[in-house]
Amino acid sequence: MTKLSVNINKIATIRNARGGNIPNVTQVAIDCEKFGAQGITIHPRPDERHITTQDVYDLHKVVTTEYNIEGYPNERFMKLIEETRPTQATLVPDGPDVLTSNAGWDTIKHKEFLTDTCRQLNEWGVRSSIFIDTDLNNMKGAKEVGTDRIEFYTGPYADHFDENKENAVKEYTEAAQLANELGIGINAGHDLNLDNLKFFKDAVPNLAEVSIGHALIADALYFGLEKTIEKYLELLK
């Protein structure tokens, strides 16, 4: 079954807007798990625009499902991973100034760096995942670096879903078939939502986890957090 990991970056965005502790990020994580989330994802960006360094440690104390920390594996990120030992670290090639994640890794160009990073994560007992697009050579490169999982960057799928969903998902189905042959676990995330999630899940064999944040938190403004998580879980059955 595909697990739902709720990305709570946007809860921290709202909190930071006023500088206090409302909404309480750790309480929201606890409640997301109570409502059925099978993981909590955060992306502690260097500018702390939403998730702060302190959030990473605070959440480490309360998350009881899977704790997934995403980010560019610089010294700060790797220190956070070493000190909190989350379930999973998802390596993202984001520069410090991007508005949001907008590309996957070039696993061939960055083979040595990613190999060393995945080895270090393995030594710490942290599952590695590499944010990636569906290029098949890149997929083979991901196998070479020794990652446990890949995370498909589903932004392009979401962008083209409305115009032609069959075409939009085709490359992901093909890439997933290769990942399965290579023995790499499959995660997915970015711009997944209540409209496009089920079609994607049904088209991608052995999808282990989806991490969803922006749309889910926006949906919660209308349906409430508990009902919204229930809606997403229903689509993953």
Is residue 213 part of the contact set for ligand LD2JLWAY (CB under 6 A)?
Answer: yes
Which residues fall in the annotated binding site? 7, 18, 45, 50, 100, 191, 213-214
Determine the straight-line distance between the first and last CA of the chain, rounded to whole angstroms: 7
Angle at which helix 9-18 crosses helix 214-223, to 10 degrees, equals 70
3-state SS of the chain: helix, strand, coil percent to 5?
Answer: 50, 15, 35
In 3-state terms, what secondary structure has residue 211? strand
Q: Annotated catalytic, 70?
A: yes
One residue of 29, 37, 59, 92 binding ligand DXP per CB under 6 A: 92
Q: Cα separation of 138 and 144, whole Å?
A: 10
One residue of 33, 192, 213, 232 binding ligand DXP per CB under 6 A: 213
Task: Mark the segment that binds ligand LD2JLWAY (CB under 6 A) among 73-81, 102-110, 114-122, 213-221.
Answer: 213-221
Q: Annotated catalytic, 160?
A: no
Is residue 93 part of the contact set for ligand DXP (CB under 6 A)?
Answer: no
Is residue 190 part of the contact set for ligand LD2JLWAY (CB under 6 A)?
Answer: yes
Is residue 15 part of the contact set for ligand DXP (CB under 6 A)?
Answer: no
Q: H or E segment at 91?
A: strand 88-91
Going from the C-alpha of 209 to that of each of 35, 37, 58, 129, the distances in angstroms are: 17, 11, 23, 11
Q: Which residues are catalytic?
A: 43, 70, 190
Judged by the rule CB under 6 A, the positions of this chain that interact with ligand DXP are 7, 9, 43, 45, 70, 92, 100-101, 131, 189-190, 213
Judged by the rule CB under 6 A, the positions of this chain that interact with ligand LD2JLWAY are 7, 41, 70, 151, 189-192, 211-215
